[in-house]
Amino acid sequence: MTPKALTTVLATLAILAASFILSLLVSRRGKKASTGDATDDWNIGGRSLPLFVVIGTQFASAMGGGVLVGQVGNAYNNGLAMLIYSFFAVLPFLIFMLIGNWIRANEFETIPDMLGSFCDNDLFVRILSSVLTILVPFGWLINQLTAFAKIYREITGIPLEILIVSMAVISILFVMPAGMKTVAWTDFFFACFMILMMVVTFVFVAKNGGSLAEVKAALPEEIIGFPKGFVSVGWTTIFLWIFSTVPGGMTNQMYFQRICAIKEKKQINKSLAITCIVTLIALGWSCFLGMGIRAMNPNIEGENATGWLLTQLPVWLIALFAGLIVATIMSTISSAAQSVVVNITHDIYQQLHPEVSSQKALKLSRLLSVLVMAVACVLAILFPHVLTVLVTTYAYSAAGLAAPMYLGYALRKKNKVTTMGLRASMICGILGCIISTLLKSTIPYVIWGILASVVALFLVSALTKGSAKALEE
Protein backbone atom coordinates (compact mmCIF):
# COMPACT_ATOMS: atom_id res chain seq x y z
CA MET A 1 0.00 0.00 0.00
CA THR A 2 1.38 3.42 -0.96
CA PRO A 3 1.99 6.14 1.66
CA LYS A 4 -0.93 8.11 0.19
CA ALA A 5 -3.28 5.13 0.52
CA LEU A 6 -2.05 4.36 4.04
CA THR A 7 -2.59 7.98 5.12
CA THR A 8 -6.11 7.89 3.70
CA VAL A 9 -7.01 4.65 5.46
CA LEU A 10 -5.61 5.85 8.80
CA ALA A 11 -7.45 9.17 8.55
CA THR A 12 -10.68 7.36 7.72
CA LEU A 13 -10.32 5.02 10.69
CA ALA A 14 -9.59 7.98 12.96
CA ILE A 15 -12.74 9.81 11.82
CA LEU A 16 -14.86 6.69 12.28
CA ALA A 17 -13.40 6.00 15.73
CA ALA A 18 -13.94 9.56 16.93
CA SER A 19 -17.54 9.63 15.70
CA PHE A 20 -18.28 6.23 17.20
CA ILE A 21 -16.90 7.16 20.63
CA LEU A 22 -18.78 10.47 20.73
CA SER A 23 -22.09 8.93 19.68
CA LEU A 24 -21.65 6.03 22.10
CA LEU A 25 -21.04 8.39 25.02
CA VAL A 26 -24.10 10.48 24.17
CA SER A 27 -26.40 7.50 23.63
CA ARG A 28 -25.28 5.82 26.87
CA ARG A 29 -25.87 9.00 28.82
CA GLY A 30 -29.41 9.07 27.47
CA LYS A 31 -29.87 5.38 28.21
CA LYS A 32 -29.27 5.92 31.94
CA ALA A 33 -32.32 8.16 32.07
CA SER A 34 -34.47 5.77 30.05
CA THR A 35 -36.92 3.58 31.95
CA GLY A 36 -39.31 2.56 29.17
CA ASP A 37 -39.50 -0.32 26.70
CA ALA A 38 -36.07 -1.82 25.97
CA THR A 39 -36.67 -1.45 22.23
CA ASP A 40 -37.59 2.25 22.32
CA ASP A 41 -34.02 3.49 21.95
CA TRP A 42 -33.35 0.94 19.21
CA ASN A 43 -36.50 1.62 17.17
CA ILE A 44 -37.09 5.36 17.56
CA GLY A 45 -34.35 6.80 19.75
CA GLY A 46 -36.65 6.84 22.76
CA ARG A 47 -38.60 9.69 21.10
CA SER A 48 -35.99 11.96 22.67
CA LEU A 49 -33.85 13.30 19.81
CA PRO A 50 -33.33 17.09 19.81
CA LEU A 51 -34.06 19.17 16.71
CA PHE A 52 -30.44 19.56 15.57
CA VAL A 53 -29.82 15.81 15.77
CA VAL A 54 -32.95 15.00 13.75
CA ILE A 55 -31.91 17.49 11.06
CA GLY A 56 -28.41 16.03 11.02
CA THR A 57 -29.55 12.42 10.79
CA GLN A 58 -32.19 13.17 8.12
CA PHE A 59 -29.62 15.03 6.05
CA ALA A 60 -26.86 12.44 6.52
CA SER A 61 -29.22 9.59 5.62
CA ALA A 62 -30.49 11.38 2.50
CA MET A 63 -27.05 12.52 1.34
CA GLY A 64 -25.44 9.09 1.49
CA GLY A 65 -22.25 8.12 -0.28
CA GLY A 66 -24.23 6.39 -3.01
CA VAL A 67 -25.89 9.74 -3.63
CA LEU A 68 -22.48 11.39 -3.54
CA VAL A 69 -21.01 9.00 -6.10
CA GLY A 70 -24.16 8.59 -8.15
CA GLN A 71 -25.08 12.27 -8.39
CA VAL A 72 -21.54 13.52 -8.98
CA GLY A 73 -21.48 10.99 -11.80
CA ASN A 74 -24.96 12.09 -12.88
CA ALA A 75 -23.80 15.70 -13.08
CA TYR A 76 -20.62 14.62 -14.90
CA ASN A 77 -22.71 12.90 -17.58
CA ASN A 78 -25.82 15.08 -17.68
CA GLY A 79 -24.86 18.52 -16.38
CA LEU A 80 -27.72 20.74 -15.30
CA ALA A 81 -30.26 17.91 -15.57
CA MET A 82 -28.90 16.66 -12.26
CA LEU A 83 -30.51 19.70 -10.59
CA ILE A 84 -33.90 18.42 -11.72
CA TYR A 85 -33.15 15.18 -9.90
CA SER A 86 -32.13 17.22 -6.86
CA PHE A 87 -35.49 18.99 -6.78
CA PHE A 88 -37.35 15.68 -6.91
CA ALA A 89 -35.08 14.22 -4.22
CA VAL A 90 -36.06 16.84 -1.61
CA LEU A 91 -39.80 16.93 -2.39
CA PRO A 92 -40.57 14.02 -0.01
CA PHE A 93 -39.46 16.14 2.96
CA LEU A 94 -42.03 18.78 2.01
CA ILE A 95 -44.72 16.14 1.52
CA PHE A 96 -44.00 14.60 4.92
CA MET A 97 -44.74 18.01 6.42
CA LEU A 98 -48.40 17.39 5.53
CA ILE A 99 -48.67 14.28 7.71
CA GLY A 100 -45.72 14.61 10.11
CA ASN A 101 -47.67 15.96 13.09
CA TRP A 102 -50.33 13.25 12.67
CA ILE A 103 -47.64 10.54 12.52
CA ARG A 104 -46.02 11.78 15.72
CA ALA A 105 -49.34 12.30 17.53
CA ASN A 106 -50.26 8.65 16.91
CA GLU A 107 -46.87 7.49 18.23
CA PHE A 108 -46.14 5.26 15.25
CA GLU A 109 -42.72 3.64 14.94
CA THR A 110 -42.84 2.32 11.38
CA ILE A 111 -44.80 2.65 8.14
CA PRO A 112 -46.60 -0.68 8.81
CA ASP A 113 -47.78 0.86 12.10
CA MET A 114 -49.41 3.63 10.07
CA LEU A 115 -51.06 1.23 7.61
CA GLY A 116 -52.10 -1.03 10.47
CA SER A 117 -54.06 1.85 11.98
CA PHE A 118 -56.21 1.89 8.82
CA CYS A 119 -57.25 -1.78 9.09
CA ASP A 120 -57.30 -2.80 12.75
CA ASN A 121 -53.72 -4.12 12.44
CA ASP A 122 -54.57 -6.74 9.83
CA LEU A 123 -51.67 -9.22 9.86
CA PHE A 124 -51.48 -9.58 6.06
CA VAL A 125 -51.33 -5.81 5.58
CA ARG A 126 -48.64 -5.41 8.23
CA ILE A 127 -46.39 -8.17 6.91
CA LEU A 128 -46.70 -7.26 3.22
CA SER A 129 -46.18 -3.57 3.97
CA SER A 130 -43.11 -4.55 6.02
CA VAL A 131 -41.62 -6.39 3.06
CA LEU A 132 -42.29 -3.41 0.78
CA THR A 133 -40.90 -0.99 3.36
CA ILE A 134 -37.71 -3.03 3.65
CA LEU A 135 -37.00 -2.73 -0.08
CA VAL A 136 -35.78 0.89 0.01
CA PRO A 137 -33.38 0.73 2.99
CA PHE A 138 -32.13 -2.67 1.87
CA GLY A 139 -31.51 -1.24 -1.60
CA TRP A 140 -29.62 1.61 0.05
CA LEU A 141 -27.49 -0.91 1.95
CA ILE A 142 -26.35 -2.52 -1.30
CA ASN A 143 -25.97 0.89 -2.90
CA GLN A 144 -23.74 2.30 -0.17
CA LEU A 145 -21.53 -0.75 0.20
CA THR A 146 -20.88 -0.72 -3.54
CA ALA A 147 -20.24 3.03 -3.61
CA PHE A 148 -17.66 2.79 -0.83
CA ALA A 149 -15.83 -0.11 -2.45
CA LYS A 150 -15.62 1.56 -5.87
CA ILE A 151 -14.10 4.74 -4.47
CA TYR A 152 -11.65 3.09 -2.08
CA ARG A 153 -10.52 0.64 -4.73
CA GLU A 154 -9.31 3.67 -6.70
CA ILE A 155 -7.30 4.87 -3.69
CA THR A 156 -5.96 1.66 -2.19
CA GLY A 157 -6.12 -0.98 -4.91
CA ILE A 158 -7.80 -3.35 -2.45
CA PRO A 159 -10.26 -5.76 -4.16
CA LEU A 160 -13.92 -4.74 -4.23
CA GLU A 161 -15.06 -7.77 -2.22
CA ILE A 162 -12.70 -7.13 0.69
CA LEU A 163 -13.72 -3.48 0.90
CA ILE A 164 -17.43 -4.35 0.91
CA VAL A 165 -17.04 -6.87 3.73
CA SER A 166 -14.82 -4.52 5.75
CA MET A 167 -17.33 -1.67 5.55
CA ALA A 168 -20.16 -4.01 6.55
CA VAL A 169 -18.29 -5.18 9.65
CA ILE A 170 -17.51 -1.61 10.73
CA SER A 171 -21.11 -0.53 10.10
CA ILE A 172 -22.46 -3.18 12.44
CA LEU A 173 -20.52 -1.59 15.30
CA PHE A 174 -22.42 1.68 14.78
CA VAL A 175 -25.82 -0.04 14.98
CA MET A 176 -25.24 -2.50 17.82
CA PRO A 177 -25.09 -0.27 20.95
CA ALA A 178 -28.50 1.43 20.85
CA GLY A 179 -29.92 1.22 17.34
CA MET A 180 -31.56 4.48 16.31
CA LYS A 181 -30.11 6.51 19.17
CA THR A 182 -26.52 5.59 18.32
CA VAL A 183 -27.17 5.93 14.59
CA ALA A 184 -28.80 9.35 14.93
CA TRP A 185 -26.04 10.90 17.02
CA THR A 186 -23.38 9.40 14.76
CA ASP A 187 -25.22 10.86 11.77
CA PHE A 188 -25.20 14.28 13.39
CA PHE A 189 -21.42 14.22 13.87
CA PHE A 190 -20.98 12.92 10.34
CA ALA A 191 -23.26 15.65 8.96
CA CYS A 192 -21.17 18.39 10.58
CA PHE A 193 -18.02 16.93 9.06
CA MET A 194 -19.73 16.51 5.68
CA ILE A 195 -20.67 20.19 5.51
CA LEU A 196 -17.13 21.27 6.41
CA MET A 197 -15.58 19.05 3.74
CA MET A 198 -18.07 20.16 1.09
CA VAL A 199 -16.81 23.71 1.54
CA VAL A 200 -13.16 22.59 1.27
CA THR A 201 -13.68 20.48 -1.87
CA PHE A 202 -15.82 23.18 -3.48
CA VAL A 203 -12.93 25.61 -3.13
CA PHE A 204 -10.46 23.07 -4.56
CA VAL A 205 -12.58 22.23 -7.63
CA ALA A 206 -13.35 25.91 -8.24
CA LYS A 207 -9.63 26.69 -8.11
CA ASN A 208 -8.53 23.83 -10.38
CA GLY A 209 -11.56 23.48 -12.64
CA GLY A 210 -11.90 27.22 -13.14
CA SER A 211 -14.67 29.72 -12.57
CA LEU A 212 -18.28 28.96 -13.46
CA ALA A 213 -17.71 30.64 -16.83
CA GLU A 214 -14.63 28.49 -17.50
CA VAL A 215 -16.42 25.31 -16.45
CA LYS A 216 -19.33 26.19 -18.73
CA ALA A 217 -17.00 26.80 -21.66
CA ALA A 218 -15.38 23.38 -21.18
CA LEU A 219 -18.67 21.44 -21.16
CA PRO A 220 -20.88 20.39 -24.09
CA GLU A 221 -23.63 22.91 -24.79
CA GLU A 222 -26.33 20.23 -24.66
CA ILE A 223 -25.76 19.60 -20.93
CA ILE A 224 -24.89 23.11 -19.76
CA GLY A 225 -27.03 25.35 -21.98
CA PHE A 226 -30.12 27.09 -20.61
CA PRO A 227 -32.80 25.77 -20.62
CA LYS A 228 -32.04 22.66 -22.68
CA GLY A 229 -29.38 21.47 -20.25
CA PHE A 230 -32.07 20.79 -17.65
CA VAL A 231 -33.77 18.23 -19.93
CA SER A 232 -30.67 16.78 -21.59
CA VAL A 233 -31.46 13.32 -20.22
CA GLY A 234 -34.79 13.22 -22.05
CA TRP A 235 -38.34 13.37 -20.77
CA THR A 236 -38.58 9.62 -20.24
CA THR A 237 -35.74 9.69 -17.74
CA ILE A 238 -37.17 12.76 -16.04
CA PHE A 239 -40.54 11.04 -15.62
CA LEU A 240 -38.75 7.99 -14.26
CA TRP A 241 -36.99 10.22 -11.74
CA ILE A 242 -40.34 11.72 -10.69
CA PHE A 243 -42.12 8.43 -10.14
CA SER A 244 -39.24 6.56 -8.55
CA THR A 245 -37.58 9.29 -6.47
CA VAL A 246 -40.62 11.22 -5.20
CA PRO A 247 -42.96 8.32 -4.27
CA GLY A 248 -39.93 6.33 -3.12
CA GLY A 249 -38.92 9.15 -0.79
CA MET A 250 -42.52 9.50 0.40
CA THR A 251 -42.43 5.83 1.44
CA ASN A 252 -38.88 5.88 2.83
CA GLN A 253 -39.04 4.60 6.39
CA MET A 254 -35.69 6.14 7.33
CA TYR A 255 -37.30 9.57 6.97
CA PHE A 256 -40.49 8.33 8.67
CA GLN A 257 -38.65 7.02 11.74
CA ARG A 258 -36.91 10.31 12.38
CA ILE A 259 -40.25 12.08 12.50
CA CYS A 260 -41.27 9.57 15.16
CA ALA A 261 -38.02 10.05 17.09
CA ILE A 262 -38.01 13.85 17.51
CA LYS A 263 -38.51 15.04 21.09
CA GLU A 264 -40.66 18.12 20.46
CA LYS A 265 -43.71 17.50 18.26
CA LYS A 266 -44.02 21.17 17.38
CA GLN A 267 -40.58 21.10 15.72
CA ILE A 268 -41.37 18.38 13.17
CA ASN A 269 -42.10 20.70 10.25
CA LYS A 270 -39.14 22.91 11.11
CA SER A 271 -36.84 19.88 11.03
CA LEU A 272 -38.19 18.77 7.65
CA ALA A 273 -37.96 22.24 6.10
CA ILE A 274 -34.37 22.79 7.24
CA THR A 275 -33.39 19.29 6.11
CA CYS A 276 -34.89 20.04 2.70
CA ILE A 277 -32.83 23.22 2.34
CA VAL A 278 -29.55 21.67 3.50
CA THR A 279 -30.01 18.62 1.27
CA LEU A 280 -30.78 20.78 -1.75
CA ILE A 281 -27.60 22.78 -1.16
CA ALA A 282 -25.59 19.55 -0.83
CA LEU A 283 -27.01 18.19 -4.09
CA GLY A 284 -26.17 21.50 -5.75
CA TRP A 285 -22.62 20.95 -4.51
CA SER A 286 -22.65 17.49 -6.16
CA CYS A 287 -23.78 19.09 -9.41
CA PHE A 288 -20.97 21.65 -9.39
CA LEU A 289 -18.44 18.98 -8.42
CA GLY A 290 -19.49 16.66 -11.26
CA MET A 291 -19.37 19.39 -13.89
CA GLY A 292 -16.08 20.70 -12.51
CA ILE A 293 -14.51 17.25 -12.75
CA ARG A 294 -15.69 16.93 -16.35
CA ALA A 295 -14.13 20.29 -17.14
CA MET A 296 -10.83 18.96 -15.79
CA ASN A 297 -11.08 15.48 -17.38
CA PRO A 298 -13.80 14.72 -19.97
CA ASN A 299 -12.51 11.20 -20.73
CA ILE A 300 -13.68 9.06 -17.80
CA GLU A 301 -16.89 7.24 -16.89
CA GLY A 302 -19.33 9.21 -14.73
CA GLU A 303 -19.34 6.66 -11.90
CA ASN A 304 -15.55 7.00 -11.67
CA ALA A 305 -15.60 10.81 -11.44
CA THR A 306 -15.29 10.99 -7.65
CA GLY A 307 -12.59 8.32 -7.60
CA TRP A 308 -10.61 10.20 -10.25
CA LEU A 309 -10.86 13.44 -8.26
CA LEU A 310 -9.29 11.69 -5.29
CA THR A 311 -6.20 10.90 -7.38
CA GLN A 312 -5.73 14.62 -8.09
CA LEU A 313 -5.88 15.91 -4.53
CA PRO A 314 -2.93 16.51 -2.20
CA VAL A 315 -2.43 13.80 0.40
CA TRP A 316 -3.95 15.74 3.30
CA LEU A 317 -7.05 16.60 1.28
CA ILE A 318 -7.41 13.04 -0.01
CA ALA A 319 -7.47 11.83 3.57
CA LEU A 320 -10.14 14.35 4.57
CA PHE A 321 -12.21 13.84 1.42
CA ALA A 322 -12.07 10.09 1.90
CA GLY A 323 -13.32 10.73 5.41
CA LEU A 324 -16.21 12.72 3.94
CA ILE A 325 -17.12 9.83 1.67
CA VAL A 326 -16.99 7.31 4.49
CA ALA A 327 -19.04 9.60 6.73
CA THR A 328 -21.82 9.87 4.16
CA ILE A 329 -21.74 6.16 3.37
CA MET A 330 -21.54 5.00 6.96
CA SER A 331 -24.46 7.16 8.07
CA THR A 332 -26.71 5.70 5.40
CA ILE A 333 -25.58 2.10 5.87
CA SER A 334 -26.19 2.21 9.61
CA SER A 335 -29.55 3.95 9.16
CA ALA A 336 -30.65 1.49 6.50
CA ALA A 337 -29.61 -1.58 8.47
CA GLN A 338 -31.39 -0.31 11.58
CA SER A 339 -34.57 0.39 9.59
CA VAL A 340 -34.62 -3.07 8.00
CA VAL A 341 -34.12 -4.78 11.35
CA VAL A 342 -36.92 -2.77 12.99
CA ASN A 343 -39.33 -3.92 10.29
CA ILE A 344 -38.39 -7.55 10.77
CA THR A 345 -38.60 -7.53 14.57
CA HIS A 346 -41.34 -4.97 15.27
CA ASP A 347 -43.63 -5.51 12.28
CA ILE A 348 -43.18 -9.20 11.51
CA TYR A 349 -41.70 -11.19 14.41
CA GLN A 350 -43.51 -9.36 17.23
CA GLN A 351 -46.79 -9.50 15.31
CA LEU A 352 -46.47 -13.27 14.98
CA HIS A 353 -45.19 -13.61 18.57
CA PRO A 354 -46.83 -10.84 20.60
CA GLU A 355 -45.78 -12.48 23.87
CA VAL A 356 -42.07 -11.86 23.25
CA SER A 357 -40.41 -9.58 25.79
CA SER A 358 -38.78 -6.32 24.78
CA GLN A 359 -35.40 -7.60 26.00
CA LYS A 360 -35.63 -10.65 23.75
CA ALA A 361 -36.73 -8.47 20.84
CA LEU A 362 -33.67 -6.28 21.41
CA LYS A 363 -31.34 -9.29 21.34
CA LEU A 364 -33.03 -10.49 18.16
CA SER A 365 -32.55 -7.07 16.60
CA ARG A 366 -28.81 -7.22 17.20
CA LEU A 367 -28.56 -10.72 15.74
CA LEU A 368 -30.58 -9.71 12.70
CA SER A 369 -28.29 -6.72 12.14
CA VAL A 370 -25.45 -9.15 11.45
CA LEU A 371 -27.57 -11.37 9.20
CA VAL A 372 -29.00 -8.47 7.19
CA MET A 373 -25.55 -7.01 6.63
CA ALA A 374 -24.21 -10.39 5.51
CA VAL A 375 -26.95 -10.75 2.89
CA ALA A 376 -26.38 -7.17 1.72
CA CYS A 377 -22.66 -7.92 1.29
CA VAL A 378 -23.35 -10.89 -0.96
CA LEU A 379 -25.79 -8.91 -3.11
CA ALA A 380 -23.47 -5.89 -3.29
CA ILE A 381 -20.71 -8.13 -4.64
CA LEU A 382 -23.03 -9.79 -7.17
CA PHE A 383 -24.84 -6.61 -8.30
CA PRO A 384 -22.38 -3.68 -8.13
CA HIS A 385 -24.47 -1.17 -10.09
CA VAL A 386 -25.10 1.79 -7.80
CA LEU A 387 -28.05 3.69 -9.29
CA THR A 388 -29.76 0.64 -10.85
CA VAL A 389 -30.28 -1.02 -7.47
CA LEU A 390 -31.56 2.17 -5.85
CA VAL A 391 -34.03 3.04 -8.61
CA THR A 392 -35.42 -0.52 -8.71
CA THR A 393 -36.06 -0.76 -4.96
CA TYR A 394 -37.59 2.73 -4.89
CA ALA A 395 -39.95 1.80 -7.72
CA TYR A 396 -41.36 -1.39 -6.22
CA SER A 397 -41.68 0.06 -2.74
CA ALA A 398 -43.38 3.20 -4.02
CA ALA A 399 -45.78 1.25 -6.24
CA GLY A 400 -46.97 -0.86 -3.32
CA LEU A 401 -47.01 1.71 -0.51
CA ALA A 402 -47.69 5.21 -1.84
CA ALA A 403 -51.43 4.80 -2.49
CA PRO A 404 -52.23 2.91 0.76
CA MET A 405 -50.26 5.42 2.83
CA TYR A 406 -51.41 8.72 1.40
CA LEU A 407 -54.88 7.86 0.13
CA GLY A 408 -55.46 5.92 3.34
CA TYR A 409 -54.49 9.02 5.31
CA ALA A 410 -56.63 11.34 3.17
CA LEU A 411 -59.69 9.08 3.43
CA ARG A 412 -59.25 7.88 7.01
CA LYS A 413 -62.36 9.72 8.22
CA LYS A 414 -64.61 8.89 5.26
CA ASN A 415 -64.98 5.10 5.64
CA LYS A 416 -64.09 4.52 1.99
CA VAL A 417 -61.04 2.27 2.38
CA THR A 418 -61.28 -1.34 3.54
CA THR A 419 -58.79 -3.92 4.68
CA MET A 420 -59.26 -5.88 1.45
CA GLY A 421 -58.76 -2.66 -0.49
CA LEU A 422 -55.42 -2.09 1.22
CA ARG A 423 -54.34 -5.66 0.53
CA ALA A 424 -55.31 -5.44 -3.13
CA SER A 425 -53.65 -2.06 -3.54
CA MET A 426 -50.25 -3.33 -2.40
CA ILE A 427 -50.47 -6.55 -4.40
CA CYS A 428 -51.57 -4.81 -7.59
CA GLY A 429 -48.85 -2.21 -7.21
CA ILE A 430 -46.23 -4.95 -7.26
CA LEU A 431 -47.93 -6.84 -10.10
CA GLY A 432 -48.23 -3.66 -12.14
CA CYS A 433 -44.46 -3.18 -11.96
CA ILE A 434 -43.71 -6.81 -12.77
CA ILE A 435 -46.11 -7.08 -15.72
CA SER A 436 -45.05 -3.81 -17.32
CA THR A 437 -41.41 -4.85 -16.96
CA LEU A 438 -42.06 -8.22 -18.61
CA LEU A 439 -43.99 -6.53 -21.42
CA LYS A 440 -41.08 -4.08 -21.88
CA SER A 441 -43.35 -1.06 -21.66
CA THR A 442 -41.80 2.21 -22.83
CA ILE A 443 -43.57 3.92 -19.91
CA PRO A 444 -41.61 3.58 -16.64
CA TYR A 445 -42.91 0.52 -14.80
CA VAL A 446 -43.33 2.41 -11.54
CA ILE A 447 -46.09 4.48 -13.18
CA TRP A 448 -48.06 1.36 -14.08
CA GLY A 449 -47.54 0.01 -10.57
CA ILE A 450 -48.86 3.16 -8.88
CA LEU A 451 -51.83 3.39 -11.26
CA ALA A 452 -52.71 -0.26 -10.60
CA SER A 453 -52.39 0.32 -6.86
CA VAL A 454 -54.71 3.35 -6.90
CA VAL A 455 -57.36 1.61 -9.04
CA ALA A 456 -57.27 -1.52 -6.88
CA LEU A 457 -57.59 0.49 -3.67
CA PHE A 458 -60.78 2.23 -4.78
CA LEU A 459 -62.31 -0.68 -6.71
CA VAL A 460 -61.78 -3.41 -4.11
CA SER A 461 -62.71 -1.08 -1.24
CA ALA A 462 -65.99 -0.27 -3.01
CA LEU A 463 -66.72 -3.96 -3.61
CA THR A 464 -65.93 -5.03 -0.04
CA LYS A 465 -67.21 -2.05 1.90
CA GLY A 466 -70.23 -3.92 3.23
CA SER A 467 -68.39 -7.10 4.20
CA ALA A 468 -65.02 -5.85 5.46
CA LYS A 469 -64.08 -3.55 8.28
CA ALA A 470 -63.82 -0.04 6.89
CA LEU A 471 -60.99 2.28 7.67
CA GLU A 472 -61.36 4.05 10.97
CA GLU A 473 -59.63 7.11 12.26
**What mean pLDDT comes out for the span 338-357?**
90
269 and 101 Cβ atoms separated by less than 8 Å? yes
What is the average pLDDT score of the chain? 84
Q: Does domain 3-385 have CATH number 1.20.1730.10?
A: yes
Q: What is the structure's pLDDT at 472?
A: 47
Least confident of 77-91, 283-297, 317-331: 317-331
Q: What backbone torsions phi and psi does residue 34 show, to the nearest 5 degrees?
A: -90, 130
pLDDT at 473 over 60: no
Give the pLDDT confidence score for residue 387 in this predicted structure: 54
Percent of the chain, pLDDT > 70? 91
pLDDT at position 219 over 90: no
Is the pLDDT at 29 greater than 80? The verdict is no
Domain range summary for the chain, segments of one domain joined by +: 3-385, 411-473
* Structure confidence by residue, pLDDT tens digits, 97-154: 999 999 999 999 999 999 999 998 999 999 999 999 998 888 888 878 887 888 788 7
Highest mean pLDDT among 68-82, 249-263, 326-340, 449-463: 449-463
Please state the pTM of the whole predicted model. 0.85
User: Which among 91, 422, 347 has a CA at the least distance from the CA of 243?
Assistant: 91
pLDDT computed for residue 1 by the predictor:
66
